[in-house]
Amino acid sequence: DTEVTQTPKHLVMGMTNKKSLKCEQHMGHRAMYWYKQKAKKPPELMFVYSYEKLSINESVPSRFSPECPNSSLLNLHLHALQPEDSALYLCASSQWGAGGLGHEQYFGPGTRLTVT
Amino acid sequence: GQQVMQIPQYQHVQEGEDFTTYCNSSTTLSNIQWYKQRPGGHPVFLIQLVKSGEVKKQKRLTFQFGEAKKNSSLHITATQTTDVGTYFCAGARKTSYDKVIFGPGTSLSVIP
């Protein structure tokens, strides 16, 4: 199984809502990532979990809160978002962290988020 | 901070023509990966290069890693309509093993 799954596929939320994005992988990968991607732009790293511990937070606003309940699951909790947060949110996993073989990232299909 | 640049930003080619995209980093990389994202899709891993001067081939795709490990290229021979998409390089810094920096991507259009 080389698949990363993400739910939901699409999400529309108001600025006062609280919602969560979910990501799951069963490849035994020990690093998991959240990226944000705007149209015609590259993926922009938000968070990295390595061995279920948060290892990188790219100065993401606190209205985005990541959680890694176990090695297969990654959540992104959303609260009080702004319209400019509308984007494709991609989850990815890799066997290990960066550096050396095994770093290739497997991306999920993403959640298309619209904040109204 | 580290920057990864790619040129060109866009490329329109006639089907059957060759295509090359170039990737340059401001710092030495431990490795570089290439990803392809089809329109409406998600990035899909193509290849990873680790060694200085490394060259790898996948059918019509040829990937190179520069001797100084600061630049890379992807060359597609005889493009097909299935090659349409955005090609991203992503470099891993030597000092940070948990993240890669994605280049801005090259969007390839193939005219049948």
Q: What is the pLDDT along chain A (116 residues), one digit of tens a residue?
A: 669 999 999 999 999 999 999 999 999 999 999 999 999 999 999 999 988 999 889 899 999 999 999 989 999 999 999 999 999 999 999 987 654 555 789 999 999 999 99
Mean pLDDT of chain B: 93
Residues in chain B within 8 Å Cβ distance of A44: 102
A/B interface, count of CB pairs below 8 Å: 70
- Does the structure show a pLDDT above 90 at B64? yes
Residue A72 CB neighbour total at 10 angstroms: 16
Average pLDDT on B27-49 reads 94
pLDDT on residue A95:
87
Å from A15 to nearest chain B CA? 26
User: Which of B92, B94, B104 lies closest to A103 in CB terms?
Assistant: B92
Share of chain B above pLDDT 70, in %: 94
pLDDT on residue B98:
67
**Banded model confidence at residue B1, pLDDT cuts 50, 70, 90:** low
B103 near A CB under 8 A = yes
pLDDT on residue B30:
87
- Does the structure show a pLDDT above 80 at B79? yes
User: Which of A56, A101, A108 lies closest to B99 in CB terms?
Assistant: A56
Residue B33 CB neighbour total at 10 angstroms: 26
What gap in Å lies between CA B56 and CA B36, rounded to an integer? 16
Residues 6+ apart with CB under 8 A from A101: B48, B50
Q: In what order do the strands lie in the sheet with B55-58?
A: B4-7, B19-25, B71-76, B61-65, B55-58
pLDDT on residue B96:
62
